[in-house]
């Protein structure tokens, strides 16, 4: 289904403002002004600022989970480690494509709110299931049952969110589309090397030479809308 350009323009403006000023610090008027639309248009499409947020989060996570599932299915013939590594690449790539909204969402997830609890019941549970399954399969195929597996999984999850909860650490290093692409390549390579050492027990393990990409993978153009 073709996306409504006016809706996407509003979502892009809201993403930028939520990132800069937070949800509470952003008014509907702010969003309308930045998107160059009438306030009534936002009310017509989304009813309220909360409605806009819910729509944007739903759009973000549905596309995100769909990409994760597609990558997992496409890599069916690969080893468990290579499937996990490509899943990691797809996660960082997607979050970086939607950098501002990714940072905003992870900031909100650090708070205990109704919004967070609703997210946990739906999208976060599915994300956790996909990542956990991929990690445990890869770890078990190389090392069998590992007593500290749950703690190691926690470390992997931390690496997947760190750039978006500590965005101030990267703000001077990631400016413009090219640097976003370079960040994805370099950061994913670092996570892959950690997985190589942890799972396969080898430094610089390069099975399939997929640090940051497979032969079918490419970095998509960077976007700011969710």
Question: What are the Cα distances from residue 166, in Å, to 55, 186, 192, 212?
Answer: 25, 17, 20, 21
In a domain, 161, yes or no: yes
How many CA atoms lie less than 13 Å away from 184 in the CB half-sphere?
A: 26
For residue 128, give the CATH number of its domain: 1.10.357
* C-beta neighbour count of 60 within 10 angstroms: 22
Residue 200 lies in a domain: yes
% of residues, the chain, pLDDT over 90: 61
18 part of a folded domain: no
- Does residue 25 lie within any of the structural domains? no
Query: What tens digit of pLDDT does each residue of 100-150 get?
Result: 999 999 888 877 677 777 776 789 899 999 999 999 999 999 888 888 999
User: Hunting for tokens 């413009």 — which residue is that?
Assistant: 176
**pLDDT of amino acid 197:** 93
Domain assignment of residue 88, given as a range: 54-209
Residue 222 neighbours by CB under 8 Å, 6+ apart? 96, 97, 99, 177, 180, 181
In a domain, 202, yes or no: yes
Is 217 a residue whose pLDDT tops 90?
Answer: no
Q: Is residue 215 part of a domain?
A: no
State pTM to two decimals: 0.83
224: pLDDT strictly greater than 80:
no
Residue 133 lies in a domain: yes
**Comparing 116 with 154, which gets the higher pLDDT?**
154
Distance from C-alpha of 98 to C-alpha of 67, rounded to nearest angstrom: 13
Instruction: Classify residue 30: in a domain, yes or no.
Output: no
Cβ–Cβ under 8 Å, residues 224 and 98: yes
**Number of compact structural domains in the chain:** 1
Q: Per-residue pLDDT averaged across 13-40, rounded?
A: 93
Q: Which of 190, 173, 57 is nearest to 124 (CA)?
A: 57
């Amino acid at each position: 289904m073709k996306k409504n350009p006016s809706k996407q323009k509003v979502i892009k403006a809201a993403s930028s403002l939520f990132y800069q000023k937070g949800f509470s610090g952003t008014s509907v008027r702010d969003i309308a002004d930045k998107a160059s639309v009438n306030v009534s248009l936002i009310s017509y499409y989304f009813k309220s600022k909360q409605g806009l947020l819910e729509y944007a989060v739903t759009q973000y996570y549905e596309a995100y989970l769909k990409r994760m599932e597609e990558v997992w299915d496409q890599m069916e013939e690969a080893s468990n480690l290579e499937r996990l590594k490509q899943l990691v690449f797809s996660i960082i790539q997607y979050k970086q494509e939607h950098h501002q909204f990714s940072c905003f969402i992870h900031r909100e997830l650090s708070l205990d709110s109704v919004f967070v609890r609703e997210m946990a019941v739906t999208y976060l549970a599915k994300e956790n299931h996909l990542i956990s399954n991929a990690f445990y399969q890869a770890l078990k195929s190389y090392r069998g049952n590992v007593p500290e597996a749950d703690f190691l999984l926690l470390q992997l999850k931390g690496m997947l969110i760190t750039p978006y909860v500590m965005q101030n650490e990267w703000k001077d290093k990631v400016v413009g589309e090219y640097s976003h692409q370079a960040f994805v390549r370099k950061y994913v390579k670092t996570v892959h090397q950690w997985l190589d050492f942890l799972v396969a027990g080898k430094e610089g393990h390069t099975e399939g030479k997929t640090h940051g990409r497979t032969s079918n993978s490419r970095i998509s153009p960077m976007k700011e809308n969710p």
